Amino acid sequence: MSIVIRRRGFAQALGAAASGLMLAGFADGWKLAPGDLAPPPGFGFGSLQFTLTDAETGKTVTAADFRGKIVMLYFGYTNCPDMCPLTLNNAVWVFRRLGPKAADIRFLFVTVDPGRDTLSVLKSYLSKFSHTDLVGLRGTDAELASVAARMGARYSVHPSRDPEKYAVTHTALTYVFNRDGAPAFSITGLERSDIDLNGIARDLGHLVSANQV
């Protein structure tokens, strides 16, 4: 089950969703006013803080490496059959819709299945989406648990020698941060084929413009 709180077009979803399930999406009528860019009281996730490994470079990175950029953070895994690839495809569509503004945004894909998602597997997987602003991140169990806890995200991995029985669940939510790493808003339903991608592009474009350096 997911809990959805709306504030003038914000879609904030808390809770967990199985990898084969959809979180409720509220994309209709997203029209952010400048005041909406500040998180409301009791906002459901913390500032951007993490220590993880970049799949592209093999180097340790922290949230500080992304300061100055708008960050979209998503938890997923490369063997995900539906939600993760759809989310990434939609994110790439939004980046293309944004044009030059997309250069100010980074999409961080944090694997919740590091046992199978080695750095090379993660790098190869993201390369299929043909966009340079998708960043694959992998962590130790402790590093992953730490960043997930800050986001209020949940995940579980139940390994099995039988691929059909290897079960992974994760929160299906995209967390958005401003250039300072502070929570801006969250996107629910980015894995859906019927979500209002134009509206999401407008919201992100608004955030880019409102946070000019």
All structural domains of the chain with their residue ranges? 54-210
- The least confident of 1-15, 133-147, 186-200 is 1-15
Among 212, 186, 193, 157, smallest CA distance to 14 is for 186
pLDDT surpassing 90 at residue 194: no
Among 67, 69, 83, smallest CA distance to 18 is for 83
CATH of domain 54-210: 3.40.30.10
What mean pLDDT is predicted for residues 28-38?
40
Quick one: pLDDT at residue 188?
87
pLDDT per residue as tens digits for the range 55-91: 999 999 999 999 999 999 999 999 999 999 999 999 9
Q: Which residue has the tokens 């808003």?
A: 185
Quick one: pLDDT at residue 40?
44
Bridge partners (DSSP) of residue 72 are 107, 176
Q: Residue 159 corresponds to which amino acid?
A: P
- Tell me the whole-structure pTM to 2 decimals: 0.81
Quick one: pLDDT at residue 97?
94
Q: Residue 15 CB: number of other CB atoms within 10 A? A: 16
3-state SS string for the chain: CCEEEEECCEEEEECCCECCCCCCCCCCCCCCCHHHHCCCCCCCCCCCCCEEEECCCCCEEEHHHHCCCEEEEEEECCCCCCHHHHHHHHHHHHHHHHHHHHHHEEEEEEECCCCCCCHHHHHHHHHCCCCCCEEEEECCHHHHHHHHHHHCCCEEEECCCCHHHCEEEECCCEEEECCCCCEEEEECCCCCCCCCHHHHHHHHHHHHHHCCC
Band (pLDDT 50/70/90 cuts) for residue 109 is very high
